[in-house]
């Protein structure tokens, strides 16, 4: 009988333990379901895409160029007697650059002037002789042949005089060419001929002048984009405003075109100096959202569009990045509501709760 009582107590204890276990399992299951429900309802904030005109700041590298390079060539034969400039210095229009030895030219000029003077004297005597002969020919004192010979001599002397005057004019011009001056103001490069060198009048290159008023800043821009009419040129600590002068009609292999922006520089800026060109690009009626709305995945960029308390992932195509916003080219419309914060807790088609 004692064994029967103990068995009944044991059965009762086992029964109670099973009941407690079942209750515990039910409680745990309920709590888990509640937690899952809470996890599915991610709390987020949303924004609407903004449609507006905007602009983007662009920056490209460029180089200082001269709008004109003037070649300095000699126009008379002779030895370079003196060079007056320092290589790389700034020269003003009219400054003397070289002096060619012109002593031979001046000697030839003296001889020609003497010949012209003699020819003038001869012509004067012939004219007097002609007048006397014309007075005597009517009375038989002078033959017609003698008068004709005098007239021919007069014409020859006039031709000699004309030739001498032309040669004198040419020599005066050559003597002026012996003093070579700067035709434009600008920076002059290294002289290719030094003092004592013999140069010929066949156009020997002496040096070059880079005109610097104004200067060009040359940049490469996309051929498909609208070219800015002006921009900010940054060269070291200097900032200038550059105005579009012209763009080359041909593009390179990367569909880029060379454009030149004109600017004034009072201080010395070396040709070939590198700098930056900063300009604004206008975007007409772009659709923008904050950058933090974007989700980067293996297949590109997406956003979570919110509809009826559900977050749906939509793939988007992005354009330009401006400040904290990004342009959306396709994938959403301005009527959509886009998740902004709490994105890390979202998955496709999950339930959400919008934070007010």
To the nearest whole number, what is the mean pLDDT of the chain? Answer: 85
Residue 148 tokens, joined: 């004709």
Confidence band, pLDDT 50/70/90 cuts, at residue 15: low
Among 13-22, 243-252, 300-309, the range scoring the smallest mean pLDDT is 13-22
Query: Highest-confidence range of 40-49, 71-80, 262-271, 322-331, by mean pLDDT?
Result: 71-80
Query: Highest-confidence range of 2-16, 47-61, 92-106, 219-233, by mean pLDDT?
Result: 92-106
Residue 188 tokens, joined: 């002059």
Q: What pLDDT was estimated at residue 87?
A: 93
The DSSP secondary structure of 256-317, one letter per residue, reads EEEEEEEE--SS---TT-EEEEEEEEEEEEEEEEEGGG-EEETTEEEEEEEETTEEEEEE-E
% of the chain beyond a pLDDT of 70 = 88
Q: Could you report the per-residue pLDDT of 149-198, keeping only the tens digit for each? A: 989 999 999 999 999 999 999 999 999 999 999 998 888 999 999 999 99
| Residues contacting residue 7 through CB under 8 Å, at least 6 positions apart | none
Q: What pLDDT was estimated at residue 135?
A: 83
24/349: higher pLDDT: 349
CATH code of the domain made up of 41-56+284-354? 2.40.420.20
DSSP letter at 342 equals: -
Q: What pLDDT was estimated at residue 11?
A: 64
Among 26-30, 134-138, 273-277, 315-319, the range scoring the smallest mean pLDDT is 26-30
125/52: higher pLDDT: 125
Q: What pLDDT was estimated at residue 214?
A: 84
Question: In the predicted model, is pLDDT for residue 3 greater than 80?
Answer: no
Confidence band, pLDDT 50/70/90 cuts, at residue 142: confident
pLDDT mean over 20-35: 46
The DSSP secondary structure of 95-117, one letter per residue, reads -EEEEE--HHHHHHHHHHHHHHH
Q: What angle do CA 308, 310, 313 make, to 5 degrees?
A: 125
Question: In the predicted model, is pLDDT for residue 102 greater than 80?
Answer: yes
Question: In the predicted model, is pLDDT for residue 106 greater than 50?
Answer: yes
Confidence band, pLDDT 50/70/90 cuts, at residue 6: low
Q: Are 159 and 123 in contact (CB under 8 A)?
A: no
Phi/psi at 324 (5° precision): -95, 0
Distance CA 149, CA 256 (A): 79
Only one residue has tokens 């700034």, namely: 90
Residue 239 tokens, joined: 């900032």
Whether 41-56+284-354 shares its CATH topology with 102-177 is answered no
Q: What pLDDT was estimated at residue 289?
A: 93
Q: Are 338 and 306 in contact (CB under 8 A)?
A: yes
Q: Which CATH class is domain 59-67+211-280?
A: mainly beta
Q: What pLDDT was estimated at residue 12?
A: 64
Q: Is domain 75-100+178-210 annotated with CATH 3.40.50.300?
A: no
Q: Is the peptide bond before 214 cis (omega within 30 degrees of 0)?
A: yes
Could you say which architecture CATH assigns to the domain 102-177? Orthogonal Bundle (1.10)
Question: In the predicted model, is pLDDT for residue 26 greater than 70?
Answer: no
Domain boundaries, the chain: 41-56+284-354, 59-67+211-280, 75-100+178-210, 102-177
Q: Could you report the per-residue pLDDT of 336-345, keeping only the tens digit for each? A: 999 999 898 8
**Neighbouring C-beta atoms of residue 249, cutoff 10 Å:** 6
pLDDT mean over 11-32: 51
Question: In the predicted model, is pLDDT for residue 37 greater than 50?
Answer: no
Q: Are 237 and 288 in contact (CB under 8 A)?
A: no
pTM over 0.85: no
Distance CA 221, CA 241 (A): 17
Question: In the predicted model, is pLDDT for residue 32 greater than 70?
Answer: no
- Give per-residue burial for 3-14: e unless 16+ CB within 10 Å, then b: eeeeeeeeeeee
Confidence band, pLDDT 50/70/90 cuts, at residue 7: low
């Amino acid at each position: 009988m004692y064994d029967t009582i103990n068995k009944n107590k044991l059965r009762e204890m086992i029964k109670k333990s099973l009941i407690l276990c079942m209750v515990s399992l039910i409680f745990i299951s309920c709590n888990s379901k509640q937690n899952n429900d809470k996890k599915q309802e991610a709390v987020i904030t949303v924004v609407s895409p903004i449609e507006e005109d905007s602009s983007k700041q662009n920056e490209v590298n460029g180089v200082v160029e001269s709008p004109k390079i003037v070649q300095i060539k000699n126009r008379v034969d002779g030895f370079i007697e003196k060079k007056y400039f320092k290589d790389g210095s700034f020269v003003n229009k009219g400054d003397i650059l070289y002096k060619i030895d012109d002593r031979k030219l001046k000697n030839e000029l003296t001889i020609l002037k003497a010949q012209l003077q003699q020819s003038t004297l001869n012509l004067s005597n012939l004219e007097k002789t002609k007048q006397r002969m014309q007075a005597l020919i009517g009375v038989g004192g002078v033959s017609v042949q003698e008068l004709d010979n005098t007239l021919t001599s007069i014409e020859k002397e006039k031709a000699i005089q004309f030739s001498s005057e032309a040669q004198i004019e040419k020599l005066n011009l050559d003597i002026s060419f012996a003093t070579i001056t700067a035709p434009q103001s600008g920076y002059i490069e290294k002289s290719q001929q030094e003092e004592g060198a013999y140069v010929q009048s066949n156009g020997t290159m002496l040096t070059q002048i880079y005109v610097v008023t104004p200067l060009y800043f040359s940049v490469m821009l996309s051929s498909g984009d609208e070219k800015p009419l002006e921009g900010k040129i940054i060269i070291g600590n200097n900032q200038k405003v550059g105005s579009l002068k012209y763009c080359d009609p041909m593009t390179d292999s990367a569909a880029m075109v060379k454009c030149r922006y004109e600017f004034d520089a009072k201080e010395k800026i070396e040709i070939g100096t590198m700098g930056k060109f900063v300009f604004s690009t206008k975007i007409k009626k772009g659709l923008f959202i904050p950058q933090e709305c974007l989700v980067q995945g293996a297949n590109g960029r997406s956003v979570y569009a919110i509809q009826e308390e559900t977050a749906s992932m939509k793939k988007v195509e992005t354009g330009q990045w401006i400040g904290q916003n990004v342009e959306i080219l396709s994938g959403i419309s301005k009527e959509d509501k886009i998740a902004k914060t709490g994105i890390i807790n979202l998955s496709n088609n999950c339930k959400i709760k919008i934070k007010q």
